[in-house]
Chains A and B, each alone.
Chain A
Amino acid sequence: MWKVAWRNLWRNRTRTALSIAAIGLTHALLLVFMAINEAGYQSAEQSAVKTAGGQLLVHGSGYWQSLSSRHTVDHPTAVISTLEGMVGVEAVIGRVILQGLVSSSHGSSMVRLAGIDRQQEALQIDLGPYVTQGSFLDPADQAANPLVLGRGIIHDLELELGDRVVLTATDPQGEVTRALFRLTGILETGSDSYDEYAAYTTVEAAQRAFAMGERLTQIGVLLDQNAQPDAIRNRLQRLLGERADTLEVLTWAEAYPDLVGYIETDRGLGLVFAIVAFLVVGFGIANTFLMSVMERIRELGLLGALGLGPGKILKLVICEASCLGLTAVSLGVSLGAAVNYYLCAVGLDLKMFGDIEWDAGGIILSETVIHSSFDAASWIVASLVVLAVVLASSLYPAWRARRLEPAQAMRCFQ
Chain B
Amino acid sequence: MITRMAMKNLFRNRWRSALVMAGVGMATALLCWLISFIDGWAAGMIRGATSVQVGQVQVHSMEYVDRPTLYHHFAQDTALEREIEQIPGVGAIAPRCYAAGLIGHEADSIIARIVGVDPEREALATVITAGIVQGRWLSLQPTPLSMPTEVVLGELLATQLGVSVGSELVLFLQAADGALGNELVRVTGIIRTGNNQVDRQTVYMPLSALQYIAALDGRLHELALHVEDSSKARSIAEQIAGRLDLDRPGHPDELVVQSWQELMPEIAVMVELLDRSAGLWLFIVYLIVALGIFNAQRMSALERRREFGVLMALGLTPRQLGRVIITETMLLAVIGSLAGLVLGVALSAFHARFGLDLSAFSDQGTVSLMGISFTGRMYTSPSMRMVMIPLVWVVVMSLVCGIGPGVRSSRLDIPQAISGRS
Contact = CB atoms under 8 A, between A and B. Distances in A.
A284 B23 contact: yes
Contact of A273 (B30, B102, B363): B30
B346 interface: no
B16 A290 contact: yes
A280 B288 contact: yes
Interface residues of B, number: 71
A29 B289 CA distance: 14
Contact of A15 (B172, B201, B295, B362): B295
Contact of B291 (A25, A29, A155): A25
Contacts of B106: 174
A299 interface: no
A155 to B, nearest CB: 7
A70 B108 contact: yes
Contacts of B287: 25
Contacts of B162: 66
Contacts of B22: 283
Contacts of B281: 273
A349 interface: no
B358 interface: yes
Interface in A349-406: 350, 353-362
Nearest to B30: A276
A287 B174 contact: no
A291 interface: yes
A284 B371 CA distance: 42
B361 A15 contact: no
B300 interface: yes
Interface in B134-189: 159-162, 172, 174, 178
11 contacts: A18-B291, A29-B284, A66-B159, A110-B201, A174-B108, A287-B292, A287-B295, A295-B303, A353-B273, A361-B368, A362-B371
Contacts of A18: 291, 294-295, 298
Nearest to B284: A29
Interface string B360-371: 111111111111
Interface of A: 14-15, 18-19, 21-22, 25-26, 29, 65-68, 70, 99-101, 103, 105-110, 155-158, 168-170, 174, 176, 257-265, 267-269, 273, 276-277, 279-281, 283-284, 286-288, 290-291, 295, 350, 353-362
Contacts of A101: 100-102, 111
B361 A267 contact: yes
B152 to A, nearest CB: 19
Contacts of B295: 15, 18-19, 22, 284, 287-288
Nearest to A18: B295
B316 interface: no
Contacts of A358: 270, 369-370
B83 interface: no
A260 B362 contact: yes
A26 B286 CA distance: 11
Contact of B292 (A67, A103, A174, A280): A280
Given A291-B299, A353-B272, A356-B266, A362 B368 contact: yes
A287 to B, nearest CB: 4
A264 B303 CA distance: 48
B303 A359 contact: no
A108 B174 contact: yes
Contacts of B300: 291
A257 B265 CA distance: 26
B131 interface: no
B362 A261 contact: yes
A286 B19 contact: yes
B412 interface: no
A176 B109 contact: yes
Nearest to A21: B291
A156 B160 CA distance: 27
Q: Is the interface of A mostly helix, strand, loop or mixed?
A: helix
B47 interface: no
Interface string B268-300: 011011001000010011011101101110111
Contacts of B107: 70, 174
Nearest to A258: B368
Contacts of B27: 276, 280
Looking at B104, B201, B272, B364, the one whose CB has the most chain A CB atoms below 10 A away is: B364
A18 to B, nearest CB: 4
A260 B288 contact: no
B289 A106 contact: no
A236 B405 CA distance: 69
Contact of B110 (A68, A268, A284): A68
Nearest to A16: B295
A277 B285 contact: yes
Contact of A359 (B113, B289, B371): B371
B318 interface: no
B67 interface: yes
B405 to A, nearest CB: 11
Contact of A262 (B113, B292, B363, B368): B368
Interface stretch (B68-76, B117-125, B248-256): B68-76
B19 A287 contact: yes
Given A18-B294, A108-B100, A291-B296, A68 B108 contact: yes
A291 B289 CA distance: 17
Given A108-B70, A359-B371, A65 B160 contact: yes
Interface in B20-67: 20, 22-23, 26-27, 30, 34, 67
B109 A261 contact: no
B69 A109 contact: yes
A261 B23 contact: no
A283 B26 CA distance: 9
Contacts of A66: 108, 159-162
Contacts of A70: 107-108
Given A101-B111, A291-B16, 12 more contacts: A25-B287, A68-B108, A70-B107, A101-B102, A109-B69, A109-B100, A261-B367, A262-B369, A276-B30, A281-B23, A290-B16, A362-B368
B358 A281 contact: no
Contacts of B34: 273
Contacts of B292: 22, 280-281, 283-284, 287
Nearest to B31: A276
B368 A261 contact: yes
B220 to A, nearest CB: 16
B373 interface: yes
Given A258-B364, A276-B30, A277-B288, A170 B109 contact: yes
B269 A356 contact: yes
Contact of B69 (A106, A356, A360): A106
Contact of B364 (A156, A257, A353): A257
